[in-house]
Structure 1
Amino acid sequence: MSANRRLLLLAGAAAAVVVVLPFIGIEALPLGVLRDPGGSSVASVIFWQIRVPRVVAAVLAGSGLAIAGAAFQALFRNPLATPFTLGVASGAAFGVALATRLGLAVAFLGIATDSLAALAGALAAVSVVWLLTRVRPATSSMVLLLAGVAMSFFFSSLILLLQYTASLGDSYQIVRWLMGGLAGVGTREVFHLLPFVAIGIAVLAWRARELDLLSIGADLAASRGVDVGHQRTVIFLATSVMVGGVVAACGPIGFVGMMSPHICRLLLGAEHRHLLPASCLFGGVFLAACDTVARLVLAPAELPVGVITAFLGGPFFLWLLLRRVVSREVAG
């Protein structure tokens, strides 16, 4: 079966799952709620004002994290590269935690405080890696990846400092938010999240060819006419904006950006004109499904969705490491 046909099948399956997920919950909802989007009945309110916005937000967040992971893995030629290992998510999380600690309430062009703080933190984290590419253009991908990991640890330590110095209430709020979750996400958050994810996906989707070449090597990409420095800058900015928006809306949710591209690469191959849309589809549905599990597993209470993704992502990470070790031993 061709990659295009597999991509269409994935899109169809993703659409079917997204349609079904809002109906899954503690209370069974009748199909009649589909005909009453503005209704005042309990079933209509639960479906249209709570579950549908939450599923849409999960799809947007998962899509953004997944395509960002695919882009980083190509850019750094490393299957472990994600928005978290490169410090982008940690920087965004620090920005929001700092805004919470200081009690900031600033809006700009309709962008909420948390989104602005997350965007500033993400850009601060990625700027260090970007400066390395400008000061020393020949810097290897591994050095850039390690610089990102260092930034992740740095911002994580700053978050711990904020928690330690915050009041008990603020500290508890920061801890719960750092677990990543979609509880309380509604229509307003969906509209805040949409432009960040849409811009990031659009920018990365137009760079499928460049990502194909960069995944092979910067020298080869340059020999084929790719401005490596410019493309790195654009990809850094696009992913920072997107991840910043996701973290502001949902908190830091790990492993989606690592798992989704790998699974899609196994299904459709490594060509980014197929991999990028497939990662978006799979990542969105994966996070929405994980959030549904988080709602139900301890019902009527619910788990933060970040707990579910970490529970699945930890073993996947170990499998990925073992797979690389075995492949190197076989090759050696």
Structure 2
Amino acid sequence: MKIADRNEAGAGWLAILLGISMIVLVVSVALAAAIGDYSIGVDTVFLAVTNGLGLTHADIPPIEQSVVWDLRLSRALVAALAGAGLAICGVILQALLRNALAEPFVLGVSAGASTGAVAVIVLGIGAGSVSLSLGAFAGAFCAFGMVALLSNGATSGPNHTILAGVAASQLFNALTAYIVTTSGNAQQARDVMFWLLGSFGGVRWPDFQLLVIVVFLGLVICLLMARSLDAFTFGDEDAAALGVPVARIRLILFGVTAMVTATIVSMVGTIGFVGLVVPHAARYLVGPLHLRLLPASAAIGAIFLVLADIASRVVADQQTIPIGVVTAMVGVPFFAIILYRAKPQQ
């Protein structure tokens, strides 16, 4: 088969996959808006959404209109954007570091962002001038710096960066725990620790508006640099030989990862393993070319986290499990499988 024919076939399959993904995502969001302690029919959900958009003026109970439009719909859409954003970050890090285990949670980026966000929340650092997202962004970049410093010049094998990430994660988790236990009251400490495990309970429409800008901006930047990401998978030297400005592209893409991760963490806390699981699933479906892999990962990541949010509300009776617990139940076995397959053959 000619290269042009293969590319055309790949683009056609991607279009089909994205079309199916959008249908599944819409259904998932509808279910997320219907399911909860107060169950609401899907038909009522549809009317509440069209009412909220100003398309209809259907007569439905005000409490159901408020629950769907003000609480559950914004929560489901933020979950979708968070899943898409974390999946994109996983794709970037796996390409830049040439490591199948790379993702913001494993590399300690999420932990650094959490520390920055908690410092703003509990200590009031920069109150009135530094937002929660900016504090998380600073923490994420500090984590990146530490991982780069620990792994610089290492020759211990492809998993050395992951070990550096584990060290960074432990350090920033310890700093977060120290800040919470020494500076916050008991109720504040409980709220922050629950938030750190991941929760969509407090998100509203302003969070969606910010996150949609950040995630789509990050996706566009990555798509514009898709060919450079393809080159990075062969190594820095080969990428430079192909004319890629390695240092500049790496800095931009690390900045995108920090920006997206920090924004998500500042809103919903730390959610692990989405950036690990989803890119591998998408790579299996559409192949390694990043022009296809990035949108496929974003679509699958959105669906995955919406379904995980639904599961967090229905697994236990009368209570919501932190979303990070649900993603870990899927991600940890997946992590173990990848680690096992990556070990050197005897």
Task: Confirm or deny a common fold (TM above 0.5).
Answer: yes
Alpha-carbon distance change, 141 to 324 in structure 1, aligned in 2, over 3 angstroms: closer
| Residue aligned with 1:216, SS | coil
The CA distance in 2 between the partners of 1:105 and 1:43, in whole Å, is 39
Whether 1:12 and 2:27 are equivalent positions in the alignment is no
Paired residues for 1:82-101 under 5 Å: 82-101=103-122
Whether 1:212 and 2:233 are equivalent positions in the alignment is no
Q: Please, which moves more after superposition, 36-45 or 155-164?
A: 36-45
Contact 2:106 2:273 survives alignment (8 Å): no
**Which residue number corresponds to residue 69 of structure 1?**
90
**Which residue number corresponds to residue 205 of structure 2?**
187
Paired residues for 1:84-233 under 5 Å: 84-104=105-125, 106-108=127-129, 113-129=131-147, 144-165=161-182, 166-233=184-251
Shift of 1:152: 2.0
Shift of 1:117: 1.3
| Normalised TM-score (structure 2) | 0.85
Query: Over aligned residue pairs, what C-alpha RMSD do you find?
Result: 2.6
Shift of 1:143: 5.2
1:282 aligned to which of 300, 308, 313: 300
Alpha-carbon distance change, 185 to 105 in structure 1, aligned in 2, over 3 angstroms: farther
| Normalised TM-score (structure 1) | 0.89
The CA distance in 2 between the partners of 1:107 and 1:98, in whole Å, is 14
The CA distance in 2 between the partners of 1:129 and 1:319, in whole Å, is 24
The CA distance in 2 between the partners of 1:228 and 1:129, in whole Å, is 18
Alpha-carbon distance change, 23 to 228 in structure 1, aligned in 2, over 3 angstroms: closer
Which AA in structure 2 matches 1:171?
A: A
Shift of 1:138: 11
| Residue aligned with 2:233, SS | helix
Shift of 1:285: 1.1
Contact 1:199 1:242 survives alignment (8 Å): no
**Which residue number corresponds to residue 44 of structure 1?**
65
Which AA in structure 2 matches 1:32?
A: L
* Percent identity between the two aligned chains: 34
Structure 2 gaps, min length 5:
1-5
- CA shift digits 1:182-235 (9 cap, x unpaired): 112110211232232222222222111111111111111111111111111111
Which AA in structure 1 matches 2:15?
A: L
Q: Please, which moves more after superposition, 9-18 or 270-279?
A: 9-18
Which AA in structure 1 matches 2:23?
A: A
The CA distance in 1 between the partners of 2:106 and 2:28, in whole Å, is 30
Shift of 1:4: 2.0
**Which residue number corresponds to residue 3 of structure 2?**
none
**Which residue number corresponds to residue 3 of structure 1?**
10
The CA distance in 2 between the partners of 1:204 and 1:253, in whole Å, is 22
